[in-house]
Amino acid sequence: MMHKTGQIAPALACAALAVMLASAAARSAATRVDEPKPVTAAEQLFPDAPDGVDPVVTGPVSTAFRQRQATAACDRAVWPDIPAECYPR
């Protein structure tokens, strides 16, 4: 009869590696609650609007304002990462 101790060591090493990888993945996937999210310019302008404020202005505005919007890429901005230049002053 052949002794199987030569097969146990690699199996234990593989199991230990799998446990280490699983714990590392779980630790990196965990969300830290105690780290505050940085506040963007749009969130500072509209603190009472937690769901966001659309940067599209429907009223009459100056050509200079439209140029500022184009330069700031306001048409592609997504809340909360909307530059302050997207809103009229």
pLDDT digit string (tens) for 24-78? 665 655 556 677 888 888 888 888 888 888 777 778 889 999 999 999 999 898 8
Greater pLDDT, 3 or 84: 84
pTM of the shown model: 0.49
Does the CA dihedral 22-25-29-30 come out positive or negative? Answer: positive
Task: Give the whole-angstrom CA distance, residue 22 versus residue 29.
Answer: 11
Q: ω before 80 within 30° of 0 (cis)?
A: yes
Which pLDDT band, with edges at 50, 70 and 90, does 14 fall under?
low
